[in-house]
Amino acid sequence: MNRPQEFSRYRHDIEVKLRSILDRYRLPLYDMIRYHLGWIDESGVVFSGNPGKMLRPSLCLFACEALCGDCLKALPAGAALELIHNYSLIHDDIQDNDEERRHRPAVWKIWGRAQAINAGTATKAIAGLTINEYKSLGLDPQKILDMHLLLEETVLTLLEGQFLDISFEGRTDISMDEYLSMIQKKTGALIAASLKAGAMAASDRPETWEQFYRLGMTMGAAFQIRDDILGIWGSAEVVGKPTGSDIMKKKKSLPIVHLFLNASAGEREFISGIYDKHELKNPEITAVIGLLEKKGSRRYAENLVRQYSAECLDLILGLPVSDEYKQELAGITNNLSKRMS
């Protein structure tokens, strides 16, 4: 996707920070991380790849700036959260057997699964070490410990979500509650932690931290369901994957969960038959997309996104920040929930 316009002012600082963190780690183990981040190619030659959206560190810096006027206080936390996000992507690609990430071979396709597991876990450990930087920045040690706690708890929540997501693969009886709980863990928690960590860097009021956390959870749900919609109906050029790609991968994303819940016995048998196949062909994907439209699964998903976005706006209005920042945050929410890629 295009990054929300509002975030472009943080991009440079975040990139410089991430590079300075990784600069301390020169062994070949860490080249896998540099490759994943789009800085080098597989033989170590400097490369200028797509560094990803940087949504999480941008939200972190935004929350901090909105509360205290200085976004840089949130830089170590923001960088740590971006590293957590990237650790999870490196492991996800192994777990989902995804051969490509950001239009390049995934880390495991080049270095093998065993080394890619190391790359992911190392990325997470570096995130933890980055939080420790606050020590030399003079932040209250109690607060740094709270940040460590937030980071580790977020990782556990992410893992619970990933566990659920994988366990959904063999099931056709996933309830909407189960699905929503899964995406809150898998996507919401990290976005919520990003806003909260930014608030922690700026403010000493735990109530404020929690307001930002709740907003992030709701924003995360809207973001993920929009992602689910794009995974089926997104246009290939923009998303970088063919339309219906989530169906091809038999992902149990929200529209599919809705379809299974609302299909007639015959329709359910028909889809189960398709999902039981080893590899899906285009006519089968078209058939599933047709059923999704017929059963209102797309409309249902779009309504949910609208609903979560409206909730976000309510939460934004209650934040202790100036109207200017509220407007910007509303714009970001709008952008995330209507994005085309």
Q: Which residues bind a copy of itself (CB under 8 A)?
A: 25, 27-29, 91, 94-96, 113-115, 117-118, 120-122, 124-126, 128-129, 131-132, 135, 141-142, 144-145, 148-149, 151-153, 155-156, 159-160, 162-163, 166-167
Residues present in the chain in total = 341
- Least distance in Å: CB of 329 to a copy of itself? 30
The SS3 of residue 101 is strand
- Least distance in Å: CB of 268 to a copy of itself? 26
Q: What letter represents residue 298's amino acid? A: R
Run of H or E including 100: strand 100-101
Are 77 and 197 contacting, i.e. CB atoms less than 8 angstroms apart?
A: yes
Are 330 and 66 contacting, i.e. CB atoms less than 8 angstroms apart?
A: no
- Least distance in Å: CB of 28 to a copy of itself? 7
The SS3 of residue 322 is coil
- Least distance in Å: CB of 63 to a copy of itself? 23
- Least distance in Å: CB of 338 to a copy of itself? 32
- Count CA within 13 A, CB hemisphere, residue 23: 7
d(CA 59, CA 62): 5
Angle ∠(51,56,58) on CA atoms, nearest 5: 85
Nearer CB in complex with a copy of itself: 133/302:
133
d(CA 259, CA 273): 14
d(CA 35, CA 15): 14
